[in-house]
Structure 1
């Protein structure tokens, strides 16, 4: 069974990706959370072109990726879970939890180190927030992330099935929590205890650095709550908040050629440890769960 699943890895990942992306796109059309002001053709074509480039570079650069390394580690006895006897189900579950907190810490690192923030800020420079924002990462960031992930897999020696499940789920939840979709407040309030919701992650894409440097989770919301980086709501509400970063505010900056050179443009301001401005989360305002009640979601769509 395991060998069959691993042998079908490319098909499983592609099917899950296309299925979730299509579902989020339809949901965004049917029930958008925020009004769309920039035509989809500009953002979607450039964001999707970027993920194609990222994937091609990744495949050409690395002879083995995370799932393949997990198989090799299992064969050669590398890593924690290949030296400690644990039930298979426990190994899968704990591995997925450890991989998730590793991705959380990596995300914090990309905000805390100026050189890495230069790469990661391209993800934040999107002027709107929808499912394709979850695909928008600089190729160099993707390469660094893969090196980090391979190091974690080599150290943990997790079951290959756990790595595959984690990557499929992480990809799906990244599309979900970046989607411009409207959830009933009561559903969002309970759902964000078990998964990062769009309203929770949208705070992270606020132009206000105090909110940008919060809510780092992509899949599980617990690390933000446990480690003090959780902000419940944006100070200006979800329909009033401004998406993006201050440095890149033109539609021309959404084109792929401009995105690729963003790391060398301008100062690396706005990262978590930036002492030139106020970067701490605005906890009193942000933790006010009532802050968005006066902001009625605007569902108007522009073509």
Structure 2
């Protein structure tokens, strides 16, 4: 696991570069805000999130798995099974954990104030998959650390999960549209762009659906799946109504302070 940092960084840069090239060549829709302004805000949040991650768990989540193993604590340290099976089940279990974390962040008002930074983006592209407030990143790391310790997750599973989670977030937020022959079967397994765009709709009951990050099964199992937006994929209006103007959704200071400011009032039509 000595090469963990390089594996994570290499996969992150590779997936991000590929998706940004893909959406630049075959964009699904045009951004209402200049890409340079959005990217500056979104990638600044990535930098802040990385700093917070190092402050919350300086040695990384792997150390939590090592502690659980040393104490022989957690499901996968108690129940005997082949390592490959423990890794596979652990990755699936962590994906389910992130699904429920996501739902909770939508339901609890104080957590929604943090998560709305992500939803306030008026456009979706690869950078949106990285647009999370650093405080939310810190809380997410704590949730994952608790889950890893309670489950006794194998250290190998953490690397696989973190790479998969980051790649999935970049992939399903990308500004592309898969052909139906690929979209329909693929979304039965993983979260696709069209499926996740519904989650970023300004229609509240659509926003409160399709919470999955990687596997799409959780939304079906836990009754939060929306197959099609009311106005269809092309008719979706993205973002949050109260943050529809550029001055409210873009800018380094704007996105950092958004959770701590009062929700703007919507202008009457």
TM-score, normalising length: structure 1: 0.84
Instruction: Tell whether the 8 Å contact from 2:52 to 2:135 is kept in structure 1 after alignment.
Output: no
In structure 1, runs of 5+ residues without a counterpart are: 1-5, 270-303
More helix by share: 2
Provide the rounded CA distance (Å) in 1 between the counterparts of 2:102 and 2:264. Answer: 16
Matched, 1:207 2:194: no
Partner in structure 2 of residue 258 of structure 1: 254
Q: 214, 218, 232: which one pairs with 1:237?
A: 232
Q: How far has the Cα of 1:268 moved from its partner? A: 10
Is 2:91 the counterpart of 1:92? no
**Equivalenced residues, count:** 264
CA distance in 2, matches of 1:21, 1:63: 25
Which residue of 1 is the match for residue 179 of structure 2?
184
With 11-20 and 240-249 compared, the bigger mean Cα shift is at 240-249
2:207 and 2:104 map into 1 onto residues whose CA distance is 13
User: In 2, distance between residues paired with 1:20 and 1:252?
Assistant: 30
- For residues 62 and 92 of structure 2, what CA distance do their matches in structure 1 show? 16
- What whole-Å deviation, never above 9, does each CA across 1:238-295 have from its counterpart, x for those lacking one? 22211001111121231120111111222499xxxxxxxxxxxxxxxxxxxxxxxxxx
Aligned to 2:24: 29
- Secondary structure (helix, strand or coil) at the match of 1:238 reads helix
- TM (norm. structure 2) is 0.95
- 1:126 equivalent in structure 2: 121
Counterpart of 1:66 in structure 2 is 61
Please give the residue correspondences for 1:1-303 in structure 2 after superposition, counting only pairs within 5 Å: 6-253=1-248, 254-267=250-263
- Please state whether the residue corresponding to 2:116 is helix, strand or coil: helix
Cα distance, 1:26 vs. partner? Answer: 0.5
Q: Contact 1:118 / 1:268 at 8 angstroms: preserved in 2?
A: no
RMSD, aligned CA: 1.4
